[in-house]
A and B are shown apart, each in its own frame.
With several copies, the nearest count.
Chain A
Amino acid sequence: MQLSREELLSAYTRMRTIREFEERLNVEFQKGTVPGFIHLYSGQEGIAVGICEHLDEDRDYIGSTHRGHGHCIAKGVDVKGMMAEIYAKSTGVCGGKGGSMHIADLDKGMLGANAIVGGAPPLALGAALTAKTLKTGGVSVPFIGDGAANQGTVAEAMNMACVLNLPMVFMFENNGYAEFTAASYATAGSIEARAKAYGMPGTTVAGDDFFAVHEAAREAIDRARNGGGPSVIEATAYRFHGHFSGDPQVYRSAEELKSVREDHDVLNNFRDRVTEAALLDQQELDAIDAEVLTLMDEAVAEAMAAPDPMPEDLFTDVYNTYQ
């Protein structure tokens, strides 16, 4: 289906924001200013945005992974709050207590990044159950890596979603690797076939093609929203960086690394498509790029300048009642 100019601009802005967020973090991390570990989403932007452009902030939920920044931005979590969170500041969306792998924003329908591989799909069942029980029309979308695909929790969630006919889309991102191990080695058979084995529709799309993802997502989300139950989308994805920022990637060939960036850049593909079709022009896209860069400068500067959490924050928020 044809997207409006506004929709195209929105999608591009989101994808570019994710890209620059990650690229900037990578630079800052190498400088040593970022605490903890970070897992970058660069290259996979089309998947998060292709899905989330169909989702509402209030009734639709996503569950995420350790590689969650892109999912968060696509679902509308505040970029500056995210940056501050990664910098472990009190102004972060989780007050600095969660960090990169635990960014959550329930008001935006974001159930949390998750540092446990396969942790989110069972939680996403719950958001779907709430939608079904309260008849909100909401849909729940867990993002799942090719490595996570093998975790028992994911199989359990797929079966449960089918049994209860829950409004869900299981969004698999197959970027070919789980840490340093290839999906071709560790993920037997096919994810699409796994979906079908549970009696769900399953489809595979190219994750570097925003339009393909967006179209598959539309169908799957509409189905879920209209009581048609869960389905699976598998997107081939291209991880530009290592597993974490700083990973030397000895397990990937130079050719692969080159090809991933040169042949499978979803942002380049998008630009080419929309400019060739004369839907948007280079200048307006460049303007977005510039704005996004400015936003990142601000986000990093504000995060670095923001105050640390207070020492007493260590003890708060464990329980609602009872300390």
Chain B
Amino acid sequence: MPIITYREAINQAMAQEMRRDPLVVVMGEDVAGGSGGSAGGEEAAGGVMGVTQGLATEFGRERVIDTPITESAIMGMGAGAALTGLRPIAELMFADFIGVCFDQIYNQAAKFRYMFGGKAVTPLTIKTLIGAGMGAGPQHSQAIYPWLSSVPGLKVVTPSNPYDAKGLMIQAIRDDDPVIFCEHKSLLAMEGEVPEESYTIDFGKAAKTREGSDLTIVSMSWMVNFCNEAADQLAGEDFSVEVIDLRTTSPIDYETVYESVRKTGRLLVVDEATPICSMASEISSAVAENVFESLDAPIRKVTAPHTPVPAAPMLEALYIPDTAKIAAAVRETLEYEL
């Protein structure tokens, strides 16, 4: 199977869907890039991170639309186009920028179907960059999927690897609900095997990335990779750790989590987001409510601290949950005796 990057996997997914369905359009700041420039703009920049590279060349600037820096207008245009027959992919360059346009997402797109009595369909995909790891500072590094996941009507996708990124992006585009597709900026260059042909991954179906029997780790996005590393390390210490990658934080595959905890009796939730009202809180509380009797130890959470993301790379490294912190929390939880 071809080995490509996470960035290329997302790009491939969009290109394949655009070939298949003329209703798919892409819009956002510099998604083509170079519009109006003195070089003539033939060479598309393809997005600030190169994720939309080549789409403008293949599909033309009527379907790959550079916009002004007006995120409310971009998100609203995407939502309105979705409501009236297109299947738009609207880019919010960095997820941190959502503060200037969240209304169009949470009060508009996400609520149409419900508040219009089931008569509206809003097949909007919002693609956006999340997360820390690039020294990009407090306003360009946040992992905001927890509060996005709290919004009824919105689906939230958090792929941890190139294979999932492709299948989940195709599903997002075909999905009839508004979806926020969270690309982790620290994963863009990650390589993995990705089939050339088109495929989808269902939302709300978690993946077991490691099988184990002593403890369950639940995570999503970038963090899954650290969890896998920790599980592999701990396997060397004879601990059998199961890792569950939620893949989508809305819908949440609670059942797979419950089943695993019923087996292992111990749970650690790892989340790059700040701790309060995080996905870690959510998963932990669901288990504490629904499979309490299976628990043999306190439910641990490893998250970022309740602070902004510091710019200094050295502080940022301390901010981000990593393999060592995860492994330490696993050990502690395994040592716990009722």
Q: Which residues of A contact B (CB under 8 A)?
A: 35-37, 61, 63, 88-89, 92-102, 104-107, 111-112, 114-119, 121-131, 133-134, 140, 147-148, 150-153, 156-157, 159-160, 163-164, 177-187, 250-253, 255-256, 308-309, 311, 313-322
A211 to B115, CA, bound (A): 35
Of B70, B108, B251, chain A has the most CB atoms within 10 Å of the CB of: B70
Q: Judging by beta carbons under 8 Å apart, are B139 and A115 in contact? A: yes
Give the distance to chain B from A36, nearest Cβ to Cβ, in Å. 4
Q: Considering the complex of A and B, which 7 residue pairs feature the smallest CB-CB distances, nearest first?
A: A122-B76, A126-B80, A185-B36, A99-B311, A182-B36, A251-B37, A251-B34
Q: Is B15 in contact with chain A by the CB < 8 A criterion?
A: no
7 contacts between A and B (CB under 8 A): A126-B81, A147-B68, A182-B37, A186-B36, A256-B38, A319-B113, A322-B204
Residues from chain A with a CB closer than 8 A to the CB of B176 are 320-321
Residues from chain A with a CB closer than 8 A to the CB of B310 are 96-97, 309, 313-314
Residues from chain B with a CB closer than 8 A to the CB of A152 are 70, 72-73, 100
A147 to B78, CA, bound (A): 20
Given known contacts A122-B76, A318-B307, is B69 in contact with A150 (CB within 8 Å)?
Answer: yes
Given known contacts A180-B33, A321-B175, is B117 in contact with A97 (CB within 8 Å)?
Answer: yes
Name the CB-closest residue of B to A37. Answer: B136
A181 to B136, CA, bound (A): 22
Q: Judging by beta carbons under 8 Å apart, are A122 and B30 in contact? A: no
Q: Judging by beta carbons under 8 Å apart, are B117 and A95 in contact? A: yes
Given known contacts A133-B62, A251-B39, is B312 in contact with A88 (CB within 8 Å)?
Answer: yes
Residues from chain B with a CB closer than 8 A to the CB of A151 are 69-70, 100
A121 to B80, CA, bound (A): 9
Q: Which residues of B contact A (CB under 8 A)?
A: 25, 27, 29-30, 33-41, 43, 45, 48, 62-63, 65-70, 72-86, 88, 96-97, 99-100, 103-104, 107-108, 112-121, 134-140, 152-153, 155, 175-177, 203-204, 251, 305-308, 310-315, 318-319
Q: Judging by beta carbons under 8 Å apart, are A102 and B137 in contact? A: yes
Q: Judging by beta carbons under 8 Å apart, are B119 and A104 in contact? A: yes
Give the distance to chain A from B61, nearest Cβ to Cβ, in Å. 10
Given known contacts A98-B115, A102-B139, A311-B318, is B80 in contact with A159 (CB within 8 Å)?
Answer: no
Further contacts, 18 of them, CB under 8 A, given A98-B137, A101-B137, A116-B107: A94-B117, A96-B117, A96-B311, A97-B310, A98-B138, A101-B311, A102-B137, A116-B108, A116-B139, A123-B108, A125-B77, A129-B25, A150-B69, A160-B74, A182-B38, A253-B39, A315-B307, A318-B307
Name the CB-closest residue of B to A150. Answer: B68
Name the CB-closest residue of B to A308. Answer: B314
A87 to B81, CA, bound (A): 30
* Partner pick for B77 among A89, A97, A160, A252, CB 8 A cutoff: A160
* Partner pick for B306 among A104, A115, A318, CB 8 A cutoff: A318
* Partner pick for B135 among A35, A121, A319, CB 8 A cutoff: A35
Q: Judging by beta carbons under 8 Å apart, are A314 and B315 in contact? A: yes
* Partner pick for A255 among B38, B75, B120, CB 8 A cutoff: B38
Of A61, A102, A131, A147, chain B has the most CB atoms within 10 Å of the CB of: A102
A37 to B311, CA, bound (A): 11
Name the CB-closest residue of A to B111. Answer: A102
Residues from chain B with a CB closer than 8 A to the CB of A183 are 36
Residues from chain B with a CB closer than 8 A to the CB of A159 are 68, 70, 73
Give the distance to chain B from A119, nearest Cβ to Cβ, in Å. 6
Q: Judging by beta carbons under 8 Å apart, are B139 and A123 in contact? A: no
Q: Judging by beta carbons under 8 Å apart, are A318 and B25 in contact? A: no
* Partner pick for A93 among B39, B117, B251, CB 8 A cutoff: B117
Residues from chain B with a CB closer than 8 A to the CB of A133 are 25, 62-63, 81, 86
Residues from chain A with a CB closer than 8 A to the CB of B136 are 36-37
Residues from chain A with a CB closer than 8 A to the CB of B25 are 129, 133
Residues from chain A with a CB closer than 8 A to the CB of B81 are 125-127, 129-130, 133
Given known contacts A321-B175, A322-B204, is B315 in contact with A156 (CB within 8 Å)?
Answer: no
Residues from chain B with a CB closer than 8 A to the CB of A125 are 73, 76-77, 80-81
A157 to B75, CA, bound (A): 11
